[in-house]
Amino acid sequence: MTRTLPADLVRWISGTFFVLFVASTVLFFPRADRSATRVVRASHPLSLVTGPLWAAILVVVFLALLVEAIVPDWVYGGALTVPVPFGSVLQGFGVVVWLAGGGLALWSERNLGRFTRPEIEVLADHRLITDGPYHWIRHPLYTAFLMMSAGVALLLLNALLIVLFFVACGIAQRRAVLEEELLGSEKGFGDVYRSYTERTGRFLPRRGAHPGDAAEKRGGAP
């Protein structure tokens, strides 16, 4: 028997999550200093997939929360809802995953600061950030966004959102590879970054990594 959370509860959770997302973005997301001169030392061009499609998926995922809060049954309980056994358990797990991902995003942004950029580039004054989650993971912001996307998909049990999550995983992998190639190049941080990759994981902590490893602070990636 398929059991899912009541529609009113899902609507309330969706609205709350959207408000939390907007509030945290406004209050904590780093803002660019328009008065400062921004000099790009090296960059990697974005394709339609790694640029616009990536951004569009993130927008759709978070707007799904707003749509569910305002127009019930459009996202949850409609034709795209996936009937699964123990649906309420998966939905509860989705709530936990979303909150954990949100916390990781805030932690990552706090450490990455003004180097939080959608572009794949190295600035003239770039530093390699190895504090906070970057001590163990090279791309914790991607991990956070994927966790939040998975959380929304599980909460709403929506087939489209589930598909978009897997597409986002593929794009995040591609963007991470491109960033690592750039940061590990001579125009990036060279051997320093390559050494950093040897003791950290891409999206999850590396097995066998030692928390006490020395960390250089000279560049960063989402």
Q: What is the chain's pLDDT, residue by residue, as a tens digit (222 residues)?
A: 468 999 999 999 999 999 999 998 888 776 655 555 667 888 889 999 999 999 999 999 999 999 999 998 889 988 899 988 889 999 999 999 999 999 999 999 999 888 888 889 888 888 899 999 999 999 999 999 999 999 999 999 999 999 999 999 999 999 999 999 999 999 889 999 999 999 999 999 988 655 444 444 444 556
Q: And the tokens for 80?
A: 């795209």
Residues whose CB falls within 8 Å of the CB of residue 102, separated by 6 or more in sequence, listed in order: 20, 21, 24, 144, 148
| Angle subtended by helix axes 7-28 and 87-112, to nearest 10 | 0
Quickly count: other Cβ atoms within 10 Å of residue 139's Cβ. Answer: 26
Domains of the chain: 7-26+45-199 (1.20.120.1630)
Do 155 and 44 form a contact (C-beta atoms < 8 A)?
no
**Taking the model in full, what pTM does it have?**
0.88
